[in-house]
Amino acid sequence: GENVEQHPSTLSVQEGDSAVIKCTYSDSASNYFPWYKQELGKRPQLIIDIRSNVGEKKDQRIAVTLNKTAKHFSLHITETQPEDSAVYFCAASKGPGNQFYFGTGTSLTVIP
Amino acid sequence: GAVVSQHPSRVICKSGTSVKIECRSLDFQATTMFWYRQFPKQSLMLMATSNEGSKATYEQGVEKDKFLINHASLTLSTLTVTSAHPEDSSFYICSARGQPTIRDFFGQGTRLTVV
């Protein structure tokens, strides 16, 4: 099966700085990679996703990059704000009809 | 994004009793629903995959007779924790997926405490 690893497990940044979270996956058949943000005691919220036919996707302050050859993908948050503080999960999937394999999560703290 | 509603958000029950958790897709038809368990400060652990009108597929190590899943309609799946014990205390969360999208939308989760 698929194995998704996520680093770092915790990350603290100063407000306004950038944050980068990295994930690797093992199954080359995986072709869909979403990122979720989960605040304490709440549901995971999809913040951005990328399919394997593109290498980068950006949505305002959030971007995701994908390197299929190396089997890794990263979340980039620029100009971080205190409200970005949360746990972020990456996931990988082989497409419709297949389950998500989640990373272990990264607890991001943005220091005002 | 699509809306998935999960109830109850919190429940406390006595050991030996059963608890039912509902997961509803409010504005789309969910052909597949997933049930996860999440321990504090840990990732989402998939328990089972539920397809409308068919039996759920359970992950290895998950007791199907203890965690009963029903997906009777395209908008509702239920998870029943039977004969609950304190070790079943956890955060249970569902997600729903409609066709043709692959995007999954999560319910708000249920905090189960068995005393």
In terms of C-beta density within 10 A (0-12 exposed, 13-18 middle, 19 or more buried), how is residue A88 classed? buried
Three-class SS state of B7: strand
Asked if the peptide bond before residue B100 counts as cis, ω within 30 degrees of 0, the response is yes
Query: What residues in A contact B105, CB-CB < 8 Å?
Result: 46
- Residue predicted with more confidence, A111 or B40: A111
* Chain B residue nearest residue A104, CA to CA: B43
Query: What HEC string does chain A produce?
Result: CCCEEEECCEEEEECCCCEEEEEEECCCCCCEEEEEEECCCCCCEEEEEEECCCCEEEECCEEEEEECCCCEEEEEECCCCHHHCEEEEEEEECCCCCCCEECCCEEEEEEC
Q: Kindly report, residue by residue over A22-81, the tens digit of the pLDDT.
A: 999 999 999 999 999 999 889 999 999 999 888 999 999 999 999 999 999 999 999 999
Q: Kindly report, residue by residue over B48-86, the tens digit of the pLDDT.
A: 999 888 889 999 999 999 999 998 888 999 999 999 999
Query: What residues in A contact B109, CB-CB < 8 Å?
Result: 41-43
* C-alpha distances in Å from residue A102, one per residue of A25, B17, B52: 10, 31, 23
CA distance A42 to chain B (A): 6
Three-class SS state of B86: helix
- Residue predicted with more confidence, B98 or B87: B87
CA distance B32 to chain A (A): 8
